[in-house]
Amino acid sequence: MLLDFFYTLRSAKLPVSVKEYLTLLEALQKGVVGPNAPDPEDDAEPSGYKIDDFYYLSRTSLVKDEKHYDKFDRAFAAYFKGVEMIADFTKDIPLEWLRKNLELNLSPEELAKIQKMGWDELMETIKKRLEEQKERHEGGSKWIGTGGTSPFGANGQNPQGIRIGQDKGRNKSAVKVWDQRAYKDYDDTQELGTRNIKVALRRLRKFAREGHEDELDLDETISRTAANAGYLDIKMRPERHNNVKVLLLMDVGGTMDEHIARVEELFSATKTEFKHLEFYYFHNCVYDFMWKNNRRRFAEKFETWDIIRKYNKDYKLIFVGDATMSPYEILQPGGSVEYNNEEAGAEWLQRLIHAFPKFAWINPEPQGVWQYRQSISVVQQIMHNRMYPLTLKGLEEAMRHLTK
């Protein structure tokens, strides 16, 4: 069975070697996990076999670079289809309240009758509901539940609410998301669908002659040697360096999941074209911290103030994100869907573009829908209309602007 598992991982283009596979078999043979493994809480009793024990053991043995974790997770899930969930995030709200039995399909007229709550009212009301509610509800307009028009719950219809216990957004109208979510790092080894993305990015590259004469000028050496009757005449020239510095800030998770493939192509091309590249992740809007590894985004945070101070003004600042969120996430303190930020996201965006005067925002959303997204209009205003679509024409326009 495990031999097929090994080939499944190789088919998923994971760099798994035979030596690592043998290490996994040796660990299993010695009972690191399995029916005879000791229970961590009681060394005298065996723990029994758990699929997540095997998951962590196999990932530790077979995957040597964290950027491959996502590929491993998908291959593992595909091979062991039907096994128990690997991740188990603890939730304060009972899962029974969130069981999906029905899904409403309301007409435009019915949707128009549902009233939005303001930010303060929404936050105050969720506190009251948590104190008052004692059982599961479905299809209603007040309590935390499913399939209704309440602002709190899952798989329902409300123009502005708090999404709870739903794997992903459907209507993109939630202003808060209750559950902790695991985002995936963008894969910088993604094969490009077209070389034109690289060509568009090259508009930003500026080469400058720097350093000493330490690069062989082959053409001139051949020419001078031939003119010198065959006596070797070596000619050197100053080495060329790409002196463009890029600070890349990428939105990840939520609505950006729809654009992963295209953003990975852009990320791969950017890492290839720019020698001086620094990148960080954020979710929806930039706040007081960012991160470099999505699995450890709360454990290994980089303060936004530190990032602003670390890099000079000669860095070109490029945001990549769909700017699709509740306007509260940009304009309201505490508006982040994940935690209560002390300052509004707009404040941090202003600080960043002030620190790095050469900036642009690349948006993977089709340009035709921008006018229908209030949050996109807000970000466009903050960016002084320096927002460009993730198309070849859009990239060329963005690079042309950054070189001015």
Q: State which of 27-41, 62-76, 316-330 shows the largest mean pLDDT.
A: 316-330
Specify the residue for token string 């031939």: 226
HSE-up of residue 329 (Cα within 13 Å, Cβ side)? 26
pLDDT at residue 128 tops 90? no
- For residue 387, the 8-state DSSP code is E
Residue scoring higher pLDDT (316 or 170): 316
Give the pLDDT confidence score for residue 220 in this predicted structure.
85
**All domains of the chain in start order, with CATH:** 2-79 (no CATH), 95-177 (no CATH), 196-206+243-402 (3.40.50), 209-240 (no CATH)
Q: Indicate the pLDDT class of residue 88, thresholds 50, 70 and 90.
A: very low
HSE-up of residue 353 (Cα within 13 Å, Cβ side)? 21
Q: State which of 32-41, 179-188, 204-213, 251-260 shows the largest mean pLDDT.
A: 251-260
The whole-model pTM stands at 0.54
Give the torsion through C-alpha atoms of 124, 128, 129, 135, to 10 deg. Answer: 170
pLDDT at residue 376 tops 90? yes
What are 302's strand-pairing partners? Answer: 290
Q: Indicate the pLDDT class of residue 193, thresholds 50, 70 and 90.
A: very low
19-41 confidence digits (pLDDT tens): 888 888 888 888 887 655 555 55
Q: Give me the DSSP letters along 231-280.
A: -----EEPPEEE--EEEEEEE-SGGGGGGHHHHHHHHHHHHHH-SEEEEE
- Average pLDDT of the chain to the nearest whole number: 75
Q: Indicate the pLDDT class of residue 307, thresholds 50, 70 and 90.
A: very high
Q: Give me the DSSP letters along 162-179.
A: EE-S-SS-SSS-EEEE-S
Give the pLDDT confidence score for residue 47 in this predicted structure.
46
Give the pLDDT confidence score for residue 226 in this predicted structure.
87
pLDDT at residue 258 tops 50? yes
Residue scoring higher pLDDT (357 or 183): 357
CA–CA distance, 249 with 280 (Å, rounded to integer): 5
CA–CA distance, 206 with 257 (Å, rounded to integer): 33
96-116 confidence digits (pLDDT tens): 545 454 455 555 655 454 455
Specify the residue for token string 């399909």: 105
